[in-house]
Structure 1
Amino acid sequence: MIDFAPLSLFAVYSAMAVYTVAFLFFTWDLAKRSASTPALVMANGEASPPSPSSDNSAPVATGYQRIGISLMALGFAFHLFATVSRGLAASRVPWANMFEFGLTATTLIVAVFLGSLLWRDLRYLGAFVSGFVLLALGIVTVNFYVDVVPLPPALQSGWLVIHVFVASLATSFFALAAGLSILQLVRARLEAHEMAKARLMKTIPASSVLEALAYRLNVVGFVLWTFTLIAGAIWAERAWGRYWGWDTKEVWTFVIWVLFAGYVHARATRGWRGSRSAWLGIIGFGAVLFNYTVVNIAFTGLHSYSGL
């Protein structure tokens, strides 16, 4: 009989190695683009940087970007194999503890990123996605890894498949949106100091474009998180006989929902634009990370399933 646990761990390290090389290609591409954009020369002989591109699309892909995307796809294959193998080793879905949730969530982040390329050219996010996934995967593997163990009684439910998977999927959309918001802040700063940082202006789309893309992804994540909150309440009633009990995990799940509800409302009805909406989206994703790490480790409650 095949022991899938060591195969899963080997695939995790293989994915990390491939993501590392992909990150290097993406950052090298960014550095080359930054250094190769020529400055215009005005009539008085002074150098004048090119004005921000009005094109809403990303710059034309380079060979480094194409290699980076190809490596991301290869890393995703190892990553997906690691996740599936973990499930086969446990004879259940692989999201019952912090390591497995982190493994699944990072898999979905890469999947959503690669899938989004069919919708919009987001290759300029490659350095952020590969770097973030590499860091997250390294942290969960080194600090949160546990051997396969049976599920606690409260998790032995079909709601585990629905509730946790949708939460992981929502997290992946929030992560990509946060990356876009960070780039939005960087681009807005470059636009405000064009004379000093002109060479970087062509490497990413305009800040307004990044903001619109981040908003769309956050809306999708918010809808999925809303379902997560509702499904969690239904599952809690099945497991513990009540829909809501002010458990720490429940409270923080609701806090995250309130943050993104405020983000969607403020941008849609209050006209929040620019850095304010970007920071609110980043804070929301920070709350997601806090809920996954600090709440799972430092607080006790009915949702203490870190496995540590």
Structure 2
Amino acid sequence: MPIDENLASYSDLGFKSAIVIYALVWIMLVWQFALTRTVPTTTRELVTAGGGSEPVAEPPAPNVPGKVEPRGAGRPFSERLGNMGFAVLFVGFGVHVASIVLRGFATHRFPLGNMFEFISMACAAAVLLGLILLNDQRYRGMWSFLLTPVLILLFLAGTKLHVDAAPVVPALKSYWLPIHVTVISIGSGVFLVSGIASLLFLFRIWQPAGAEADNIWGQLARRLPDAQLLDRLAYRTTIIGFPIFGSGVILGAIWAEAAWGRFWGWDPKETCSFIAWVLYAAYLHARATSGWRDTKAAWINIAGFVAMLFNLFIINIVVSGLHSYAGLN
């Protein structure tokens, strides 16, 4: 069937509009983040062997360590600003999803046939998971950091990786496309949230103590959620993403057997996906192992996130293989 050019143009417009809305939300949430200050406290945060954090035993203070409050009379404004940004985020997500759906209707296929469409779907999955898990005020300070990679990925997808709406290559004309690639893209979006949480966790526990806490890095770190909350978020999201991504790898092997007559051939993308899956398995194992539950486990989680990015960009663009369907000229 011919491509519906009108729907394709509306899809591209929706994609660009989503980027603009996300950028507006990012500005509002960064503004709110900047208006907050850490509550003065005589306690400091320690990371326990279990990967969490707890205050050093000292006399109780009227304020909770790590809690953030707006400066002076600016509190009502910053709260309204953050709430408004979070509300607009729903609008941006709706426009983003609409652009994906319109792309599918315009091409008369499932919209996951190239890197542009894959990144758009993965970012939508990351934002959706954030809307579900990060709607608590305790995580509000994390949103500006989560939207940063989302905006970067969407910008790259819309500029360097964008391709016009078109039918997929013959090798992708299979009912396995919407099953396998959808599961992989959702898992990738979940791992994006997990990776950012681990990065912020490491930054949070390295917060300077004492007089050094007054420098810009210490102030920035104390505006983030508590290290324990960030570590739990990374763990929870990896638990969600690990079986999803693993199922995607298995479904891909089944599709490979139907298309190429073998389940596994150590193609570069297959190999890198397997490495990423093993790293996330190692992270979950480390979180259950005494002595590995804090910074060591977080570094493993970040290594898995780096492997995902390497698989997405380097393997798809630079390395030639059976999975070279980036859609780029």
Aligned mates of 1:187, 1:202 — CA distance in 2 = 7
Q: What secondary structure is seen at the aligned counterpart in 1 of 2:233?
A: helix
Contact 2:44 2:65 in 1 (8 A): no
Pairwise CA distance, 1:29: 1.3
Contact 2:39 2:66 in 1 (8 A): no
TM-score (norm 1): 0.89
Mapping of residues 226-245 of structure 1, within 5 Å: 226-245=246-265
Mapping of residues 269-288 of structure 1, within 5 Å: 269-288=289-308
Aligned mates of 1:254, 1:229 — CA distance in 2 = 8
Aligned mates of 1:195, 1:66 — CA distance in 2 = 33
* Unaligned ranges ≥5, structure 2: 46-53, 56-63, 70-77
Picking from 213, 216, 230, the partner of 1:197 is 213
Hey, what does 1:5 align to over in structure 2? 8
TM-score (norm 2): 0.83
What is the one-letter code of the residue matched to 1:33? T
* Unaligned ranges ≥5, structure 1: 41-48
1:242-280, Cα deviation, whole Å (9 max, x unpaired): 001111111111111111111111221354122211111
2:89 equivalent to 1:89: no
Q: What secondary structure is seen at the aligned counterpart in 1 of 2:30?
A: helix
Task: Report the aligned-residue RMSD.
Answer: 2.3
Aligned mates of 2:305, 2:99 — CA distance in 1 = 25
1:136-179, Cα deviation, whole Å (9 max, x unpaired): 10001101111122222221222111111111111111111111
Pairwise CA distance, 1:59: 5.1
What is the one-letter code of the residue matched to 2:81? Y
Hey, what does 2:166 align to over in structure 1? 149
2:23 equivalent to 1:20: yes
Aligned mates of 1:142, 1:289 — CA distance in 2 = 18
Hey, what does 1:74 align to over in structure 2? 91
Contact 1:97 1:305 in 2 (8 A): yes
Aligned mates of 2:192, 2:67 — CA distance in 1 = 20
How many pairs were matched up? 297
Hey, what does 1:298 align to over in structure 2? 318
Aligned mates of 1:120, 1:20 — CA distance in 2 = 20
Aligned mates of 2:272, 2:297 — CA distance in 1 = 21
Contact 1:58 1:122 in 2 (8 A): no
Identity %: 37
> Structure 1 residues 131 and 172 mapped into 2: Cα distance closer, same or farther (>3 Å)?
same
Pairwise CA distance, 1:196: 2.2
